Structure 1
């Protein structure tokens, strides 16, 4: 279960942080979700004879590709005004769903586990997502604008001024 929880948290922590810090989910976050979802989808195709992936899982794993197709066919001049909300929803809901699907695929005898144990990995992913969002929202408490600059990111509007954090 820990493997699936780690997989889900790797996908959700940075989008949740950037949503808190910048009020935006960056395209790189959505593409990371797409990459993981596509890898799980392709694995599901190979493992389909084991019944590891329910039909709802197939649909969930296709959603990031649907977002990309929407972005491709949307006129760039005017755009699709709600596409950003779809990105945020897709990322924040998709990571826990991926955790659940990874659990079904990677954990032998998944169905035999108690419901509580099955939900632990998804709950851990959700908890990390909420905590990462809060860390992004309150980044000024432990990061400075220079920390963002040094890392190659733009400084969020509410960062603390000062030099980068260095351990001594």
Structure 2
């Protein structure tokens, strides 16, 4: 369970933090989600275990690729702001789903785990995602604008002014 939760959390925490701090999910977060989803999709296909994933799992893993195709073919006008909402929904729903799917494809004894442990990994991913969002939203309590500058990130609108709080 811990392995699955850690894998899902690694993909989920930063997009949740940036959504809290910047009110946005950045393209590199979406591409990271795409990379993990595609790796799980291809791993599941190569492992060839029949029934390892339900058809809905295969569909869910293809959603990040659908997002990329939509972004390529959609006109770059104001009328297509729905893509932003699709990105946010894909990230927030996709990471816990990836935790579950990754467990199903890559852990040989997944089916033997108690249901509580299977869903526990998804729950841990969700909790860490919510906490990361809140840390992003309230970043001014423990980070300064200079911390964002030093790390190469833009400063969010509500960061604390002053020296980096975590400068070594």
Q: TM-score range by the shorter chain?
A: over 0.9
Structure 1: runs of 5+ lacking an equivalent: none
Deviation at 1:53, TM superposition (A): 1.7
Partner residue in 1 for 2:136: 136
Partner residue in 1 for 2:42: 42
Range that drifts further, 157-166 or 140-149: 157-166
- Asked whether the 8 Å contact 2:21–2:137 carries over to 1, the reply is yes
Deviation at 1:48, TM superposition (A): 2.5
Q: Distance in 2 between matches of 1:78 and 1:103?
A: 39
Partner residue in 1 for 2:148: 148
Deviation at 1:121, TM superposition (A): 0.5
Q: 1:45 to 1:7 in 2, by over 3 A?
A: same
Deviation at 1:65, TM superposition (A): 0.3
In the comparison of the two structures, how many residue pairs are matched? Answer: 168
| TM value normalised by structure 2 | 0.95
Partner residue in 2 for 1:160: 160
Deviation at 1:3, TM superposition (A): 1.4
Q: 1:125-168 CA deviation, whole Å, 9 max, x = no partner? A: 00110000000000000000000001111100000001012366
Q: CA RMSD in A?
A: 1.3
Q: 1:74-108 CA deviation, whole Å, 9 max, x = no partner? A: 11244611110000000110000000011112222
Partner residue in 1 for 2:29: 29
**Matched residue SS, 1:29:** helix
Partner residue in 2 for 1:55: 55
Q: 1:62-83 CA deviation, whole Å, 9 max, x = no partner? A: 0000000000001124461111
Whether 2:9 is the aligned partner of 1:9: answer yes
